[in-house]
């Protein structure tokens, strides 16, 4: 009986997960409010704001819900997603996930160090390679909710890493990003943020 209950719980969980996908069409209208900062095409023109186009739906849903629920503090978004239901969050995430992602061009002056950190890490500092979670082409991991980094605004990526490093942002699983960013200098952060802007 115990095995049956466990099996049923797992099955119901999987069914719930399967039906949790967002509806991009329904999300389009709701996403109009996002355009002021993230642009209508999801590629932010303001360097300090993240591009959302082509980002994983699961990651965007998590971020929207955590900002809404106060788990992740983003003052610029205060009140914007307050009225979003879970389904609204999933729909908006699905809309942005379906848009073509950005691809930038890395600054050659920062390329070598950025590539080294992203692909090999820095064992002397205890920094693992970013590819372990974010993949060699910067496309992240949808199931694990690890974000796409390819084409992300360098200023935004750098700001996010510094917030993790300083403990201002704490919505990373198992303290993972905070532990890594704590070992990175400002120059390391600038270099890797520049590199992922152009990685593909």
Nearest alpha carbon to residue 61 among 89, 81, 97:
89
* CATH superfamily entry for domain 22-97: Cytochrome c-like domain (1.10.760.10)
Over residues 9-45, the pLDDT tens digits come to 444 444 434 446 899 999 999 999 999 999 999 999 9
Is 130 within any annotated ligand binding site?
Answer: yes
Is 38 within any annotated ligand binding site?
Answer: yes
Would you state the pLDDT for residue 67? 97
Task: Burial-class residue 53 by CB neighbours within 10 Å (0-12, 13-18, 19+).
Answer: buried
Is 34 within any annotated ligand binding site?
Answer: yes
Q: What kind of architecture, by CATH, is found in domain 108-198? A: Orthogonal Bundle (1.10)
The answer to whether the CB of 71 falls within 8 A of the CB of 24 is no
| Residue ranges covered by each domain of the chain | 22-97, 108-198
Over residues 47-71, the pLDDT tens digits come to 999 999 999 999 999 999 999 999 9
The answer to whether the CB of 131 falls within 8 A of the CB of 119 is yes
Is 37 within any annotated ligand binding site?
Answer: yes
Residues forming beta bridges with residue 141, ordered by sequence position? 146
Q: Give how far Cα 167 sits from Cα of 11, 19, 42, 61, 164, Å.
A: 37, 34, 27, 22, 5
Nearest alpha carbon to residue 38 among 107, 104, 102:
102
Task: Burial-class residue 129 by CB neighbours within 10 Å (0-12, 13-18, 19+).
Answer: middle
Is 19 within any annotated ligand binding site?
Answer: no
The answer to whether the CB of 161 falls within 8 A of the CB of 54 is no
The answer to whether the CB of 103 falls within 8 A of the CB of 198 is yes
Question: Given this chain, do its domains 22-97 and 108-198 carry the same CATH topology?
Answer: yes
Is 45 within any annotated ligand binding site?
Answer: no
* CA 121-122-124 angle, 5° bins: 155
78: pLDDT confidence band, cut at 50, 70 and 90?
confident
d(CA 39, CA 41): 5
Would you state the pLDDT for residue 15? 40
pTM: 0.88
Over residues 135-160, the pLDDT tens digits come to 999 999 999 999 999 999 999 999 99
């Amino acid at each position: 009986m115990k095995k049956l209950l466990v099996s049923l719980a797992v099955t119901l969980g999987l069914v719930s997960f399967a039906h949790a996908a967002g509806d991009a069409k329904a999300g389009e209208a709701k996403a109009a409010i996002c355009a002021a900062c993230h642009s209508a095409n999801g590629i932010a023109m303001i360097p300090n704001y993240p591009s959302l186009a082509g980002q994983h739906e699961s990651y965007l849903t998590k971020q929207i819900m955590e900002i809404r629920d106060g788990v992740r503090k983003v003052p610029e978004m205060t009140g914007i997603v307050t009225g979003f239901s879970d389904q609204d969050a999933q729909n908006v995430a699905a809309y942005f996930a379906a848009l073509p992602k950005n691809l930038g061009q890395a600054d050659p002056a920062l390329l070598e160090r950025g590539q080294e950190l992203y692909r090999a890490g820095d064992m002397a500092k205890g920094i693992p390679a970013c590819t372990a979670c974010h993949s060699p082409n910067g496309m992240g991991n949808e199931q694990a909710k690890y974000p796409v980094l390819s084409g992300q605004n360098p200023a935004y990526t750098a700001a996010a890493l510094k917030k993790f490093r300083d403990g201002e942002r704490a919505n990373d699983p198992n303290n993972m990003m905070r532990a890594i960013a704590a070992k990175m200098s400002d120059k390391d952060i600038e270099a890797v943020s520049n590199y992922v802007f152009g990685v593909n």
